[in-house]
Chain A
């Protein structure tokens, strides 16, 4: 059986908000290491990779690997019924037809349980190589969100170029062009999460669909910082770390020149 108790139930809402615009269903894999999800959007352009480590739960028990296929739209509806301060427990049997969500209010004066039907999902798993990125950019997540939103007002595709001087975001649309350069500022007085840091072994440049990048920024409430990892001619990774818990990562295939 699987049973996991999460003290910060609001975290589940944030995680679901970060994926609900991209996928409609997914297999949550329960394993002794934690709860994970890998799923692609319907166009197979982007991939979501979530890990919530077992150590991040107040109580975690998982005897064997259990794939828990869930409709994300329905899951969002159920988790919305939890208060943002509620403690959430997720429970299911080894071969579940249903998953139970138990919500306990912080003061323990209200207890609710919701049971949701599981579904069988034949999803394709991709092997994402554990690679060293040629360019890694760490920046405030709110700044990245703002930047993607501003770029999307002008064009559909953003070209991201990373050099040691900084990161240049460029786009072109019917009304004109936009360029925003973010420079690394590690020596200032900023707190760590307000800094922009760039680590590169060689300059990298590629084009990406802004519609997807904008969807990824729905994960902004999960982390004060976001990390972009790029390798020439490979998908970009956009990572939001969840403190003491794991991560939400998005991979996005680049635009290919004909």
Chain B
């Protein structure tokens, strides 16, 4: 089963 990733887990906040 796959889950939708969120962008924060890949890119850092500025």
Residue numbers of A with Cβ under 8 A of B are 40, 43-47, 124-129, 157, 207, 209, 234-235, 251, 253-258
Contacts and interface: CB of A to CB of B under 8 A. Distances in A.
A29 to B, nearest CB: 12
B2 A126 contact: no
Which 6 A/B pairs are nearest by Cβ-Cβ distance?
A: A253-B5, A255-B2, A125-B14, A126-B11, A256-B5, A44-B6
A45 B7 contact: yes
B11 A256 contact: no
A157 B7 contact: no
A126 B7 contact: yes
B14 A127 contact: yes
A255 B2 CA distance: 6
Interface in B1-14: 1-14
Contacts of A129: 11
User: By DSSP majority rule, is chain B's interface helix, strand, loop, or mixed?
Assistant: mixed
A125 B13 contact: yes
Contacts of A251: 7, 11
A47 B8 CA distance: 11
B6 A43 contact: yes
Contacts of A47: 7, 11
A128 B2 contact: no
Contacts of B13: 124-127
B13 to A, nearest CB: 6
A255 B11 contact: no
26 contacts: A43-B6, A44-B7, A44-B8, A45-B4, A47-B11, A125-B14, A126-B11, A126-B12, A126-B13, A209-B4, A234-B10, A235-B5, A235-B11, A251-B7, A251-B11, A253-B5, A253-B6, A253-B9, A253-B10, A255-B2, A256-B2, A256-B4, A256-B5, A257-B1, A258-B2, A258-B3
